[in-house]
Structure 1
Amino acid sequence: MRRTLITLATAAILTGSLAATVQADPAGPAPGTVVRDEALTSDLWLDGTGSARRLTYWTRDSDDRPAQSTGAIFLPVGTPPPGGWPVLSWEHGTVGVGDDCAPSTAGRSERDKNYLATWLRQGYAVVATDYIGLGTPGVHAYLDGRAEAHAAIDMVRAARAVDDSLSSKWVAIGQSQGGGAAVFTASLATKYGPELDYRGAVATGPASNIVDASTLVGPSTPSIQSSHLTAYATYVMNGLKAARPDFDLDSYLTPVGKELIAAAQTQCFTPMAQRAEGVTLNQLFSRPLSDGDFAATARPIMDVPMTGYDRPLFIGQGTNDTDVPAPLTAKLVADLTANGVRPEVHIYPGLDHNATVAGSLPDSMPFVARLFG
């Protein structure tokens, strides 16, 4: 059933001079081309997994340049239905920007494992990108929405290239960073992957309006005691620098800011949030982010598109979410609506960022079932 595509040529991409030859080609390998296909160790499987693989594959960054990503394939137990397993392309939330944070090697939170296992038990194959730069060359461009969307779409292509039990029908699902990425994916999927049968997207706690929120931050901003928000900010600034190396990041930072942002290049989210304890957002910055070229540089990378939505979109938001506050999602929905997009919106009173993931399932499972119906 599984057909491995590793050849001497693709193996050489991993180990030798052929890599330089391929990357020098402006066109590069076709998106979804598999570089490496290997078994995923059983300690990284989801409950209910019948078989699992780990892939390295080619995709495109937000400037349409070739780049590599990694990711995992999880197949349900049993025999695929006629036409193959319907596919969910999972776009994960914040784990960090360093190679050691890639979920296909570092593992997943209990929240995510339980959530994805629920879908697997419903008879969906789950393919899960790590995104560009998490375990592959270069720095992960955190919240570079187009790059994240490309990696998720090309993960479907790559998975289908090595496993003919997968259907061409697929849905994007994501939470937090991945929720924002799933919205980007919803705007790009049909055009970027026209040979696939994209059906729609589910986004919970979606990162959005990051630039608008960030421009309110500066040295005189009232102190916000949240190590999570401080950690997120270090990743936002690292991600922007990765996407736009010419951005003068240091001109915005205090010595404390430079120290924490350097640490964030290798520290995954939990230890980074612990390191950020006692450091407020305003302490990172020597001048307001409303000054200079921060917004002009960041908007093309992080602002959610307002066009291209041709399939149903589900947005779920908890009212007690302090990581992605509800007003940011309310603005996203309002902006989409003003541009003729009609997402199916579900609000979860009393649920925080984490609880919304499982809390959305009674609504998102029938939504996805209809998409594949």
Structure 2
Amino acid sequence: MRQSRSLARRAALTAVACLAAVAGHGAGAQQVAAEPMNAFYTPPAAIPETPGAIVKTQPMTILATPPTAAGWPTQAQHVMYTSRLQDGSPVAVSGTYIEPKNPWQGAGPRPTVVIGPGTSGQADRCAMSVAFSTGISVTADPLGLSANQELPSSAVWTALGARVLITDYIGLGTPGIHTYANRFESGHAILDGARAANALGGVGPETPLVLWGYSQGGGATAAAAEMQPEYAPELNLKGTWAGGPVADLSEILERIDGALIGGAIGFGVNAMLARYPELHQAVDRVISPSGRAMLATLSESCVADLITYHPFLKTNSLTIDGRSLTEHLAEMPEAAPVLAELRIGSMKPATPVLITSGRNDDTVPYGQARRLAEDWCGQGATVTFRTNELPPILPGTTIPNHFGPELIDGFGPDNAVTYLLDRLADKPVSGCSFD
């Protein structure tokens, strides 16, 4: 345990150094990001059928080590791999792959780490890999900004010597709508990302694997953890961090209605409409023409755009009768089975999971995260649930109350890095605990 904590502390300092590097690298980001979207995101006419198969790669330079490290910025690969849509059909997914140059610092063989990014948006330009080269992506048409919020996590695991893949998820960068918080497609993208990373690293499925994610990423890794025994049984999954997980979309939508990033409701609604056509008529009954136009606008927006152009959006401005869209969804017979099917927690993870959640999280409700832990514990899973007691700060503004717990639980004392290093060291853990 002492070694794991020492390694985690050193890696966290690396993450801080990388954030400082991005702050000083802003001019370069402006220059690079003004260029058009890279043609790399367009898949070939035919892609391999096998999940996790490599479609194509190309070199990319990224900020995933501090400027004091040799070889900074780091060389990585822009990767496209095959995954599966909800109906099982193959789809191309993009991401970023980092092969470490330094030895693995933890116990056992070098592991693979797959990172599920937090909410970045629904437009293709919001794909995490777009911002990975410089840390910040700025576009002129439309005017917008997207940041590489997974810089700290990728820096931590790269500094520790793990091979790292950060998925863009289905429909971010690549063609089609991004199916935000769809547990099937999020889980597929994570697990197939592990297969792709192992292939790029020249290692087999016996390679130790851990999953890391917060917010949307926490929901994605949670979905992957419970799907792994059936969808990817060959993977040697050792443990998962599902921080502030988006586990129950119905509760998320209700919580953020009128909050600073209330426009993210559009991401969820657009995603459901894309995979559940029976919802179209039901939504059409209640949404106004301006509301329909706003959903289209949000489908081409990043999180920073929500804050800049649509802060504190209330969905009663999108409906015909002035009642909130979230209220209507709660009463729609067509919506109830969809929201129930998308809720995570119906299957038992076969490997340990750490769930963390802020009691005062104003974006991803604490109750639905704890319910996920309770659902899994009821099925006999090994779950550690930790409550972050950070007091409420400017409720409804997301940044202190949602991202504060991410930094503390991910990189603070007794953090998620330590938990996963212990799982990679095969330190025993069993049953359920709630702190």
In the superposition, the TM-score normalised over structure 2's length comes to: 0.72
Kindly provide the amino acid, as one letter, of the partner of residue 356 in structure 2: G
Question: Which residue in the other structure is 2:398 paired with?
Answer: none
Question: Which residue in the other structure is 1:3 paired with?
Answer: none
Kindly provide the amino acid, as one letter, of the partner of residue 417 in structure 2: M
Kindly provide the amino acid, as one letter, of the partner of residue 372 in structure 1: L
Question: Which residue in the other structure is 1:158 paired with?
Answer: 196
Question: Which residue in the other structure is 2:315 paired with?
Answer: 281
Q: CA deviation at 1:224?
A: 5.3
Greater displacement, 200-209 / 283-292: 283-292
Q: CA deviation at 1:14?
A: 6.0
User: Deviation per CA, 1:162-190, whole angstroms, max 9, x where unpaired?
Assistant: 22268721011111111011111110123
User: Deviation per CA, 1:113-167, whole angstroms, max 9, x where unpaired?
Assistant: 1233122222222211101111112111111111111111111111222222687
In the superposition, the TM-score normalised over structure 1's length comes to: 0.84
Query: Contact 2:248–2:339 at 8 Å: present in 1 too?
Result: no
**Structure 2 unaligned runs (5+)?**
1-40, 136-146, 392-400, 426-435
Structure-to-structure mapping, 1:93-242, within 5 angstroms:
93-107=118-132, 109=147, 111-164=149-202, 168-211=207-250, 214=253, 225-228=258-261, 230-242=262-274
Question: How many residues are matched?
Answer: 345
Query: Contact 1:186–1:309 at 8 Å: present in 2 too?
Result: yes
**In structure 1, which of residues 19, 24, 31 is the aligned counterpart of residue 51 of structure 2?**
31
Greater displacement, 96-105 / 73-82: 73-82
Query: Contact 2:358–2:389 at 8 Å: present in 1 too?
Result: yes
**In structure 1, which of residues 237, 250, 258 is the aligned counterpart of residue 292 of structure 2?**
258
**Structure 1 unaligned runs (5+)?**
1-12, 23-27, 218-222
User: Deviation per CA, 1:76-131, whole angstroms, max 9, x where unpaired?
Assistant: 33245897521111001111111111111133546531233122222222211101
Q: CA deviation at 1:68?
A: 0.9
Query: Contact 1:50–1:78 at 8 Å: present in 2 too?
Result: no
Kindly provide the amino acid, as one letter, of the partner of residue 60 in structure 1: R
Kindly provide the amino acid, as one letter, of the partner of residue 160 in structure 1: N
Q: CA deviation at 1:197?
A: 0.8
Query: Contact 1:205–1:316 at 8 Å: present in 2 too?
Result: yes
Question: Which residue in the other structure is 2:303 paired with?
Answer: 269
The whole-number CA distance in structure 2 between the counterparts of 1:63 and 1:171 is: 26
Query: Contact 2:61–2:74 at 8 Å: present in 1 too?
Result: no
Structure-to-structure mapping, 1:309-328, within 5 angstroms:
309-328=349-368
The whole-number CA distance in structure 2 between the counterparts of 1:193 and 1:334 is: 24
User: Deviation per CA, 1:178-219, whole angstroms, max 9, x where unpaired?
Assistant: 1011111110123222222111210111012223565x69xx
Kindly provide the amino acid, as one letter, of the partner of residue 180 in structure 1: G
Cα 1:296–1:252 change in 2 (3 A) is: farther
Question: Which residue in the other structure is 2:424 paired with?
Answer: 372
Percent identical among aligned pairs is 25
